[in-house]
Amino acid sequence: MTEFTPLASLLGGLLIGLAAVLLMALHGRIMGLTGILSGLLPPPDADWSWRAAFLLGAISAPALIVALGDRTIPFETPLSFGAQVVGGLVVGIGAALGSGCTSGHGVCGLARLSPRSLVATCTFMATALATVFVIRHLLGSA
């Protein structure tokens, strides 16, 4: 069980949207985390520095909230180390092949009314729903 948090989630979503708009207004870039990460892999793109800075900020934020806000941020995974590795690999392969993930297609692409992003988002939402149903209710594991 995780707690239903409509207000915090809406607020977080607004901040994610604000970041997407600012990255377009200032850098002219789509805020897709798969694409941003991809440009940092060797050999890094010529414009690696803004990518690294963005990711550094993204990683620092939760650390700062915990340190300064004196609060905990829930993080739980039901998966073993091996499942994390395999699952992560497949997440990366799928997102790279499909040219984007939740942030790139699901937020930025949909906001641009891109037909490719609409197809991508509907596809990954549907297969994610089906996968969780199969794992939790047909195979019956946690």
CB of 11 to another protein, least distance (A): 6
Nearer to another protein, 70 or 78 (CB): 78
Question: What dihedral do alpha carbons 39, 41, 43, 49 form, nearest 10°?
Answer: 50
Nearer to another protein, 70 or 75 (CB): 75
CB of 61 to another protein, least distance (A): 3
Per-residue DSSP letter, 42: S
- Residue for token digits 């239903």? 4
* CA dist., res. 69 & res. 56, Å (int): 19
CB of 70 to another protein, least distance (A): 14
Nearer to another protein, 28 or 70 (CB): 28
- CA nearest 104: which of 31, 44, 53? 31
Look at phi and psi of residue 141 and say left if phi exceeds 0, alpha if psi is from -120 to 50, else beta.
Answer: beta
Amino acid sitting at position 50: W
Query: Is the peptide bond between 43 and the residue preceding it cis, with omega within 30 degrees of 0?
Result: yes
Nearer to another protein, 70 or 86 (CB): 86
CB of 82 to another protein, least distance (A): 10
Nearer to another protein, 70 or 103 (CB): 103
CB of 89 to another protein, least distance (A): 4
